Structure 1
Amino acid sequence: MANHPIDENHLEKLLRNMPKITDSRNAENIYWSVQTKMNKKTKNKKLIFIPVLSVLAVVIAFILISPVFLQQDHQESKSMDVSSRKDAVVMSAAKQKAQPKKTEKASANINAVQSANDQISKTAIYKEDLGKNNVFTYGVFTKDAVVVPVSVLALKENTDWVTQYKKIAGSLAKKMPSLDNYLPLHGDMKYDAATKKMHIIIEKKDIPSITELFQLNLDSIIQYSFAYQDVKKVDFSDENGNPIEIGELGEVTSKDINKTPHTAFYLYTSGDGEDYLLPTDEKFSNLQAALEAMKTKPDDFHHPVIGQDLSIKVNEENADQATVQFTKNVQLENEKNPMDMIEAILLTAKNFGYSSIQFENIEPLQWNGFDFSKPVEVPLAPNRINIE
Structure 2
Amino acid sequence: MKKSQLSDKQLEEILGQMPKIKDHRDSRDIYSNIAHRVEKRKKMPAWVVPGVALAAVLFLAFILSPGLLDVNDASQESMDRNSASEAKSSMEMDTAVRDDSASNSAAEKENTLMADSADGEEKANEFAAMDKGNPYEGLISLYPEEIDTETTELLSYAIPDQQVMTVVPVTVTTPKQEGKSWIDSYTEMMPKLKEEEWGLTDYYPMDASWNYDEGSKTLTMDVKPNHPFQYGSATNIIFVDSMTQNFSRAGIDKMVLTTESKPGIDLGNFGSMEELPINAETKKRRAYLFLTVEGIQNPYLVPTKEQYETVGDAFAQMRKGDEVGYLSPSLPDGFKFAKTELKDKVLEITLTDDTTLDESFLPHLEAILMTVSEFEYTGVRFTNANIDQIGPFNMNEVLSLPLAPNKKNID
TM-score if structure 1 supplies the norm length? 0.60
Task: Note the residue ranges of structure 1 that are not aligned, 5 or more in a row.
Answer: 1-118
Give the match for residue 151 of structure 1.
171
Alignment correspondent of 2:349: 324
Structure showing greater Rg: 2
2:156 corresponds to: 137
**Alpha carbons 1:234, 1:254 under 8 Å: kept:** yes
1:7 matched to which residue of 2? none
Q: 1:195 to 1:354 in 2, by over 3 A?
A: farther
The match for 2:331 is 306
Greater relative CO (CA pairs within 8 A, separation 6+): 1
Match of 2:227, SS state, is helix
Deviation string for 1:129-151 (max 9, x for gaps)?
22243211101112121311111
1:1-388 residue pairs with structure 2 within 5 A?
A: 121-131=138-148, 132-145=151-164, 146-158=166-178, 159-172=180-193, 175=196, 181-182=203-204, 185-197=206-218, 199-207=219-227, 210-212=230-232, 213-240=234-261, 242-252=263-273, 253-259=275-281, 260-270=283-293, 273=296, 275-298=299-322, 299-317=324-342, 320-328=345-353, 330-333=355-358, 337-388=360-411
Q: Cα offset for 1:229? A: 3.2
**How big is each residue's C-alpha offset from its partner over 1:232-263, in whole Å with a ceiling of 9 and x where there is no partner?**
44332334252323222112232123345322
- Judging changes above 3 Å, is the alpha-carbon distance between structure 1 residues 292 and 307 closer, same or farther for their aligned structure 2 residues? same
**How many angstroms apart in 1 are the aligned matches of 2:212 and 2:353?**
48
Q: CA deviation at 1:285?
A: 2.3
Fraction of identical pairs, as percent: 22
Q: Deviation of residue 341 (structure 1)?
A: 1.0
Residues 286 and 245 (structure 1), Cα distance of their counterparts in 2 relative to 1, 3 Å cut: same
Paired with 2:374 and 2:410, the residues of 1 have a C-alpha distance of 26
* 8 Å Cα contact 1:262-1:283 kept in structure 2: yes
3-state SS of 2:362 partner: helix
Distance 1:374 1:318 in 2: 14
The count of residues paired between Structure 1 and Structure 2 equals 267
Deviations 1:170-229 (A, max 9, x none): 1115756976545x72222233445544x1322333435654232122332123322453
Instruction: From the superposition, tell whether residues 383 and 174 of structure 1 become closer, same or farther in structure 2 (CA, over 3 Å).
Output: closer
Deviation of residue 329 (structure 1)? 6.9
Compared CA separation, residues 235 and 318, structure 1 to 2 (3 A) = farther
SS in 2 for 1:359: strand
Q: Deviations for 1:61-114, whole angstroms, at most 9, x for unmatched residues?
A: xxxxxxxxxxxxxxxxxxxxxxxxxxxxxxxxxxxxxxxxxxxxxxxxxxxxxx
1:191 match: secondary structure: strand
Aligned to 2:51: none
| Contiguous gaps of at least 5 residues in structure 2 | 1-135
Distance 1:371 1:191 in 2: 42
Tell me how far 1:381 sits from its aligned partner. Answer: 0.7
Does structure 1 retain, via aligned residues, the 8 Å contact 2:292–2:300?
yes
Change (3 A) 1:129 1:272: same
Q: What is the rounded CA distance, in whole Å, between the counterparts of 2:195 and 2:336 in structure 1? A: 44
Q: Which amino acid aligns with 2:357?
A: L
The answer to whether the 8 Å contact 1:268/1:303 transfers is yes
Taking the aligned partners of 2:145 and 2:158, their CA distance within structure 1 comes to 23
Report the Cα offset of residue 305 of structure 1.
2.3
Contact 2:220–2:258 (Cα < 8 Å) also in 1 = yes
Asked if 1 retains the 8 angstrom alpha-carbon contact of 2:208 and 2:224, the reply is: no
> Does the 8 Å contact 2:257/2:264 carry over to 1?
yes
Change (3 A) 1:308 1:200: same
User: TM-score if structure 2 supplies the norm length?
Assistant: 0.57
Q: Residues of 1 paired with 2:353 and 2:256: CA distance?
A: 48
Contact 1:310-1:328 within 8 A present in 2 as well = no
Aligned-pair CA distance for 1:303: 1.6
SS at match of 2:333: coil
